[in-house]
Amino acid sequence: MDIIQLDTLVKVLDVLATFVFALVGARVAADRGLDYGGIAFIAAVASTTGGTLRNVALGIRPSWITNPWILSSVVLAVFITIILQTTKPIGKFLLAMDTLGLAVAAISGTQIALAYKASWYAAIVLGVITAVAGGLLRDLLCQLEPVVLHRETLATSALVGVSVYVSLKHTALNGNVAALLGGVTVMAVRTLSIYFDLHLPKIKK
């Protein structure tokens, strides 16, 4: 896939992941009793932090500066949250959407890192950062124990998925198929970890 095609694909994937993360972030903020301004701020932070850190590390401008659809998707997510006027905890549908966003962000983050000549291991790290940094900052700002640090193997799911993708990229397999399999891996690992209550070992007190 040439750089122009990849740029187009990444823009589309970035918008999708941004909307999902913004929607989840807005719901978390609403559940914590934040006002409309707080909801909008948390939604923006949750959805743009990962991609911004990725792009800064690669020496390119953050996506939300060059792609107006990024901020538009954040505004839409905030609008939906305010219109629905619900403060219920995140349900199965939003959790599924968040899992999809995790997969999309992880793979697209890795793709753009590889396109800008990052080493394979740096691309893996940047893919994970793209996927989990926004949620980590969201939880910290909402005064919650960060999910990524203690349950649901968020970072582990992203790490396994992008590792599969990068490994397959070095074979004769089509790049789009490799990306799809990597994304499916992210979703499968997270879904199984939630269903079976799996998490990384902890040091016993």
Burial (CB < 10 A; 0-12, 13-18, 19+), residue 43, is buried
Residue 38 lies in a domain: yes
Round to whole Å and give the CA distance between 127 and 163: 9
Domain that holds residue 176: 3-195
Residue 139 has pLDDT above 90, yes or no: yes
The Cβ of residue 79 has, within 10 Å, a number of other Cβ atoms equal to 12
**Burial readout 118-148 (b: 16 or more C-beta within 10 A, e: otherwise):** beeebbbbbbbbbbbbbbbbbbebbeeebbb
Residue 200 lies in a domain: no
Round to whole Å and give the CA distance between 43 and 28: 9
Residue 205 lies in a domain: no
The Cβ of residue 39 has, within 10 Å, a number of other Cβ atoms equal to 24
- Predicted confidence (pLDDT) per residue in 2-40, tens digit: 444 656 766 787 798 899 999 999 999 999 999 999 999
- The pTM of this model reads 0.91
Average pLDDT over residues 127-154: 91
Residue 204 lies in a domain: no
Q: Which helix (H) or strand (E) holds 70?
A: helix 68-84
Residue 80 lies in a domain: yes
The residue behind tokens 């954040």 is 74
Residue 201 lies in a domain: no
Q: Which range has the worst mean pLDDT, 66-75, 79-88, 108-117?
A: 79-88
Q: What is the mean pLDDT of the chain?
A: 90
- Predicted confidence (pLDDT) per residue in 82-91, tens digit: 999 876 666 7
Residue 186 lies in a domain: yes
In the chain, the number of structural domains is: 1
Residue 101 lies in a domain: yes
